[in-house]
Chain A
Amino acid sequence: MSIPIACRGWLTAFLVAAPLAAQSIPVVEKTLSNGMRLVMVERHDQPTISLGWMARVGSADERPGITGMAHLFEHMMFKGTRTIGTKDAKRDAELNDLQDKVQTQIRQEMSILRERQRRGEVADMMDPKARTPRLQQLLKDFDGLVQEQRGLVVKDEMDRIYTQAGGTGLNASTSQDRTFYIVGLPSNKLELWMWMESDRLANPVFREFYSERDVILEERRQTLESRPGGVVGEAFNAMTWAANTYHWEVIGWPSDIAQVTREQAATFFATYYAPNNLTAVLVGDFDPAKAEALAERYFGRIPANTKGVPEIITLEPAQPAEQRMIAEVETTPSFQVEYKTVSAVHKDAPALQALAGILGGSSAFMGRPGGGGGRGPSGRLNKALVLDQKVATSASASFRGQKLGGTFSLRATPAQGKTPADMEALLQTELDRVAKDGVTEAELERYKKATQVGLWNRLETNSGIRETLSSFLAVGSVQDFEGAQARFQALTRDDIQRVAKAYFPRSGKNVLITQRAAAPKAAEGPMDPDLAALPEPVRARIKAQLDTMMKLDAVALKEQLTALEGRLSAMPPQARPTVEYLMKKGRERLQKLEAK
């Protein structure tokens, strides 16, 4: 094959580019006698080690009734063991049992309330006002047990031990597919990590279980419910995934979080936290042979789950019809269309990532399996919708590949004077262009180079390597990590055109249109009929103005009324009712003030 001279410049530049990142990170993989896997990367730049272990369990392994369990579990793993976290293991265990007994009775009362809610006798079974007298007493009894246990608890002892040892970033995270427990330590503390982590796997105690459910409800409020669009996003995801267990959010449905039991947690642990379902990731200043021997001594003592881990059987059926959700959200209007595609390790995933990268802007680097896209300045969507046509203020494309499946999304925020619905055809046009004409060779080569830099960006620190490796391990294997770059470099323009044709049928569309909702009114009680007569969008603001006016003294209020009167004549007719309303209320108030 001959290469035209003109092209040789950039081709050569590309070929002498950086060595493939993943292949330059030497990964050592070992399996312990009980089936636990160790994945290790040796780096001696600094005297630190980034450590983690992953349980291959996430919210996708749950079922209705225990949604949120994988995540609740992540919290429970910090509550200690038979040794860590208590002054008196024996009494602590007794108190846990007593708490379970009271909770069993509480659940009986909750069943009664659930039935009352079902029959419409109470509006919300979680409302304190709906409690039965017996429930109220049981909650009091339970609180007594919690108080007694609190006297025995060595509060957050695990955190204290790591903190004192110079630990950084002690944390854990739960996704649909995996749960990952991490910490960074000075390099001399590897054995401490082995001790602590194998202890919490070998001897866990789920103490403070029931109060932790409250923490999670607060976490749900903070990360989902009080975020504009949070609960709409949850509903949209549930609409998109019909059968697959990605249907619910990792944090779970509130009803389930509030009712899950310690016994259910114990069963979950026995099933999914056995060593043959665990992988540890160690990156930094240590000797892998010594680490393996230590791991065998510490983690090797935990028996395997010989029954094996249940597989997720349910497959998402092909979507038979386009689905649409139109929501009012208290934020800037937006448009999104999402298609279900393939898992992160599917052979078509790199092509879908490249498609997202080229549409969204390849400066949004990949570095994870199944990640890709974004909103770069030179992405096709940004060029067309934002820069050229000026119909949107942002436009992006993304591919999200997970273990059991993936999604491909196009999003746009309409510019002033445009609606979310206007975005749909414009985004479709860009997608159709790729399906019809493909992408250019230059776009593809740039994308390939960007993926290399993107991966290197994530592989410069111990923790960056740990996170990147683990993201591949969550959906695949070390080989998937090592082969990632080669798969991208092998992509052709045909691959991208083929996936653009194959994965975007009209029946696969899930559309989310959000309109700006008026700010919810802060006032309680029935609305003043005069206020209710005003147009809905201005009510909140008028109410706020009124609240302030009502706090004025007579002199100031008079001044305000005079000022309003002066402005009235200059107002457009449609604005007058609001001012007249304010003036009416103001005069009523003034009369009262003056009567005093």
Chain B
Amino acid sequence: MFARTALALILGATGALAQSIPDRPEKLAFAPVTFQIPRAAEHKARLKNGIPVYLSLAEKEASPLVRITLSWRGGSYLDPKGREGLAQLFGAQLARGGTATLSAEKLEDRLEALAASLGSSCGDTSGNLSLTVLEQDLDEGLGLMLQVLTEPAFAQDRLDLAKRQQKQGLGRRNDAVTSIASYQMPFLLYGETHFASQDPTAASLDALTREDLKAFHARLLHPSNLVVTVSGRGNRKALLAKLDAGLGALKAGAGAQVSPAVPAPTHVRKPGIYVTDKDAPQAMVQWAFPGLRRTDPDWHAALVMNQLLGASGFTSRLMKKIRSDEGLTYGVRTALGAGPHWRGDLTGSMQTKNRSVAYALRLALAEMRRMCDEAPAAEELKVIQDNLIEAFPAQWSGRQAVAARFAEEALLGWPEDWWVDFRTKVQKVTPADVRRLAQRLLHPDQLLILAVGKASEMEAGDADHAGKLAELLPLPLVRLPLRDPQTLKPLN
């Protein structure tokens, strides 16, 4: 220990003599970092039945784990009317309900013996079955995964349990402002009938049977619906051979269908300030403007505008104003939806005490107006551009991230190498572009605002910053009733 400290002292002393510390961080010089973006072609292969596989493997990887994910196109947009929750329940039960030859208990027992995890889930438009296993146990793990994929049993007792758990979950829908907002906002955005607002109800869960799950499985199990990712320790050729022998032999079965296009909503939105009354110490506020698709020629300018407005933490204008200056919230952020099934939305959210809702929203709207009125200073814009460009390599950090990125693009139908010119395009965005996109997207007359909290306090506003919620914008103020947690019918 003495020697180590002494050496440190010497190093410290000579270092201090040789170089002093500059008075500002800008005076530091940095060697360039070169980062070659991974290309899809280097990672992609196809099984003999056409299923695409994205691999990011290394034989000398320190970690002995292998991760395989089978993703499918198809999700709750395929739920039949009255069977809302089918896709979700299917996703939850695929890996939990055993197989034709292994009971649920036996399957769990085998997985546990391998310390492997096999999980599944299904969302609105896609789902996946995912395995993590030690390299030494890969063959057995992969075998179990394939069995689950091709002949799941959806054991009745496990299904019943899942339904009981889900129904208990339904009962919690009105417990918190956050969970209330998460069912209210989709109704405002997509209307009463589009799948994006259709969550399970007690009745739809009751109606769901094992046969429904089996039929749903049969329709999805088509090679054209599947995309595979593999990452971790291993040899590419050997792994591909294993996959080809199993998954590569999969053929479309009798009921199998290529999942159809996801239907876009037809609902005509009614801009307004919507208020749901819930007695809570703090309100949840969300808003949405119509956005654009990632294929839009202005996408990168919109992205930069959004980062500047509210998507890059403390460097965003909304955070500086509403949190740092005013102390009104723990966090405010915006997000730019990308599609692909329909254009995304430019959304925002924050939580603040009830009486601050009107004032915080007023501050947010003023920042948005400023984005439309003035082009940002070149230096402010450069911070955002430099961040997107410099932090770009971190987005590809880890083998899992690389493989998953390509698979996600493939699953959504975006061009595989879309990210190749990302940095160049971000670099080209000008202050005038940012203003133009603000003007294009931030239309207050198309705004939907949802505030869930104590209505009387939210509507009255703050004594220290006078201004009622109704005076925020020339938009109607609408009381939106809570919905029955079991039926999702408005409570009136």
Judged by a CB distance under 8 angstroms, whether A83 is at the interface is yes
Given the known interface contacts A223-B330, A521-B279, A541-B491, the answer about A31 and B30 at a Cβ–Cβ threshold of 8 Å is: no
Determine how close the nearest CB of chain B comes to the CB of A88; give it in whole angstroms.
15
Q: Interface 1/0s, chain B 151-175, versus A by CB < 8 A?
A: 0000001000100110010011011
Query: Contact at A393–B65, with CB atoms within 8 Å?
Result: no
Determine how close the nearest CB of chain B comes to the CB of A446; give it in whole angstroms.
5
Query: Contact at B64–A18, with CB atoms within 8 Å?
Result: yes
Given the known interface contacts A47-B33, A225-B282, A462-B397, the answer about A32 and B21 at a Cβ–Cβ threshold of 8 Å is: no
Give residues of chain A (334-391) contacting chain B, Cβ–Cβ below 8 Å: 362-363, 376-378, 386-387, 390
In the assembly, what is the distance between CA of A48 and CA of B312, in Å?
19
Judged by a CB distance under 8 angstroms, whether A128 is at the interface is yes
Judged by a CB distance under 8 angstroms, whether A24 is at the interface is yes
Judged by a CB distance under 8 angstroms, whether B378 is at the interface is no
Given the known interface contacts A164-B383, A363-B117, the answer about A300 and B12 at a Cβ–Cβ threshold of 8 Å is: yes
Judged by a CB distance under 8 angstroms, whether B474 is at the interface is no
Partner of B327, one of A47, A187, A189, A215: A215
Give residues of chain A (415-430) contacting chain B, Cβ–Cβ below 8 Å: 415-416
Instruction: Please classify how large the interface on chain A is, using the bins under 10, 10 to 19, 20 to 34, 35 or more.
Output: 35 or more
Q: Interface 1/0s, chain B 14-25, versus A by CB < 8 A?
A: 011001011111
In the complex, the chain B residue whose C-beta lies closest to that of A46 is: B397
Partner of A184, one of B9, B386, B392, B394: B394
Judged by a CB distance under 8 angstroms, whether A234 is at the interface is no
In the assembly, what is the distance between CA of A394 and CA of B492, in Å?
33
Given the known interface contacts A18-B64, A18-B134, A186-B393, the answer about A196 and B324 at a Cβ–Cβ threshold of 8 Å is: no
Query: Contact at B8–A226, with CB atoms within 8 Å?
Result: no
Determine how close the nearest CB of chain A comes to the CB of B153; give it in whole angstroms.
15
In the complex, the chain B residue whose C-beta lies closest to that of A442 is: B113
Partner of A377, one of B22, B108, B314, B393: B108
Q: Interface 1/0s, chain A 1-25, versus B by CB < 8 A?
A: 0000000001001001111010011
Judged by a CB distance under 8 angstroms, whether B237 is at the interface is no
Give residues of chain B (321-345) contacting chain A, Cβ–Cβ below 8 Å: 323-331
Given the known interface contacts A163-B383, A212-B327, A221-B353, the answer about A456 and B481 at a Cβ–Cβ threshold of 8 Å is: no
Determine how close the nearest CB of chain A comes to the CB of B116; give it in whole angstroms.
8
Give residues of chain B (411-460) contacting chain A, Cβ–Cβ below 8 Å: 454-456
Query: Contact at B33–A187, with CB atoms within 8 Å?
Result: yes
Given the known interface contacts A31-B5, A215-B330, A293-B11, the answer about A128 and B16 at a Cβ–Cβ threshold of 8 Å is: no
Q: A297 to chain B: which residues have CB within 8 Å?
A: 12, 15-16, 19, 21
Given the known interface contacts A228-B175, A453-B134, the answer about A218 and B328 at a Cβ–Cβ threshold of 8 Å is: yes
Query: Contact at B463–A128, with CB atoms within 8 Å?
Result: yes
Given the known interface contacts A159-B314, A226-B176, A296-B11, the answer about A415 and B164 at a Cβ–Cβ threshold of 8 Å is: yes
In the assembly, what is the distance between CA of A275 and CA of B106, in Å?
54
Query: Contact at A211–B326, with CB atoms within 8 Å?
Result: yes
| Stretch in A62-70, A165-173, A304-312 touching the partner | A165-173
Query: Contact at A522–B387, with CB atoms within 8 Å?
Result: no
Query: Contact at A218–B327, with CB atoms within 8 Å?
Result: yes
Instruction: Please classify how large the interface on chain B is, using the bins under 10, 10 to 19, 20 to 34, 35 or more.
Output: 35 or more
Query: Contact at A188–B5, with CB atoms within 8 Å?
Result: no
Judged by a CB distance under 8 angstroms, whether B4 is at the interface is yes
Judged by a CB distance under 8 angstroms, whether B286 is at the interface is no
In the assembly, what is the distance between CA of A18 and CA of B133, in Å?
11
Q: A461 to chain B: which residues have CB within 8 Å?
A: 397-398
Most chain B C-beta atoms within 10 Å of own C-beta, residue among A150, A208, A456: A456
Given the known interface contacts A17-B136, A218-B328, A446-B113, the answer about A32 and B8 at a Cβ–Cβ threshold of 8 Å is: yes
Query: Contact at A156–B394, with CB atoms within 8 Å?
Result: no
Give residues of chain A (148-186) contacting chain B, Cβ–Cβ below 8 Å: 150, 155-156, 159-161, 163-168, 170, 184, 186
Give residues of chain A (295-329) contacting chain B, Cβ–Cβ below 8 Å: 296-298, 300-301
Q: B171 to chain A: which residues have CB within 8 Å?
A: 332
In the assembly, what is the distance between CA of A19 and CA of B62, in Å?
9
In the assembly, what is the distance between CA of A214 and CA of B157, in Å?
50
Determine how close the nearest CB of chain A comes to the CB of B454; give it in whole angstroms.
7
Q: B30 to chain A: which residues have CB within 8 Å?
A: 188-189, 191-192
Q: Interface 1/0s, chain A 218-243, versus B by CB < 8 A?
A: 11011101111000000000000000
Q: B21 to chain A: which residues have CB within 8 Å?
A: 195, 297-298, 301
Partner of A545, one of B28, B399, B491: B491
Partner of A522, one of B24, B279, B326: B279
Given the known interface contacts A17-B134, A456-B65, the answer about A47 and B35 at a Cβ–Cβ threshold of 8 Å is: yes
In the assembly, what is the distance between CA of A173 and CA of B428, in Å?
36
Judged by a CB distance under 8 angstroms, whether A495 is at the interface is no
Q: A415 to chain B: which residues have CB within 8 Å?
A: 164
Partner of B161, one of A21, A164, A390: A390
Query: Contact at B9–A393, with CB atoms within 8 Å?
Result: no
Q: B5 to chain A: which residues have CB within 8 Å?
A: 31, 33
Query: Contact at B327–A166, with CB atoms within 8 Å?
Result: no
Q: B323 to chain A: which residues have CB within 8 Å?
A: 215
The 7 closest A-B pairs by CB, nearest first: A166-B390, A214-B327, A548-B492, A296-B12, A159-B314, A221-B282, A18-B64
Q: List 12 A-B contacts (CB under 8 A).
A: A30-B4, A47-B393, A161-B25, A163-B387, A164-B386, A195-B28, A215-B323, A226-B176, A300-B12, A376-B112, A394-B165, A456-B65
Given contacts A31-B4, A453-B65, A462-B397, 14 further A-B contacts (CB under 8 A): A30-B8, A33-B5, A47-B393, A163-B384, A167-B391, A184-B394, A186-B390, A218-B327, A222-B351, A226-B280, A363-B111, A387-B157, A416-B168, A520-B279
B interface residues with partner A (beta carbon < 8 Å): 1, 4-5, 8-9, 11-12, 15-16, 19, 21-25, 28, 30-35, 62-65, 96, 108-109, 111-117, 132, 134, 136, 157, 161, 164-165, 168, 171-172, 174-177, 277-282, 312-315, 319-320, 323-331, 351-353, 382-384, 386-387, 389-394, 396-400, 454-456, 463-464, 481-482, 491-492
